[in-house]
Amino acid sequence: MKVQRGDVVLVDWLYSDRTGSKLRPAVVVQADQYNQSLDDTILALITRSPARFVGSPTQLLIDITTPDGRSSGLRQSSLVQCENLVTIDQDLIIRKIGELPASLLQRLAGCLKAVFDLP
């Protein structure tokens, strides 16, 4: 499945210690030119756990009570953890559930800059 930056997708997310995995949402953060030319894409984890929210500039809150949040396709307000990225083959994406609008993509870009300490 070819994806675009900002797509909210469902994937079987492998734990970093490789002890298991969990079906969960993620957002495509890789640029579209690479999503079209490569088999792999880069995803940022999405969690609904409020305990994970620490107010870090690397995290983006998606509030589903707003029009922007509703377009994400998420069922609950959630948090994009840009500090938790993975590269996977696009064929491993189960399905697209929504997408982030331009306003949230702009804020997501700021979170990614914070992760890599970019100006």
Mean pLDDT of the chain: 95
State yes or no: pLDDT of 111 exceeds 90.
yes
Q: Is 96 left (phi over 0), alpha (psi -120 to 50) or beta?
A: beta
List, in order of start, the domains of the chain with CATH numbers.
Answer: 7-115 (2.30.30.110)
21-39 per-position pLDDT tens digit: 999 999 999 999 999 999 9
pLDDT of residue 55: 81
d(CA 99, CA 76): 14
Encode 20-51 in three state secondary structure. CEEEEEEEECCCHHHHHHCCEEEEEEEECCHH
7-21 per-position pLDDT tens digit: 999 999 988 899 999
| DSSP β-bridge partners for residue 59 | 81
43-64 per-position pLDDT tens digit: 999 999 877 777 899 999 999 9
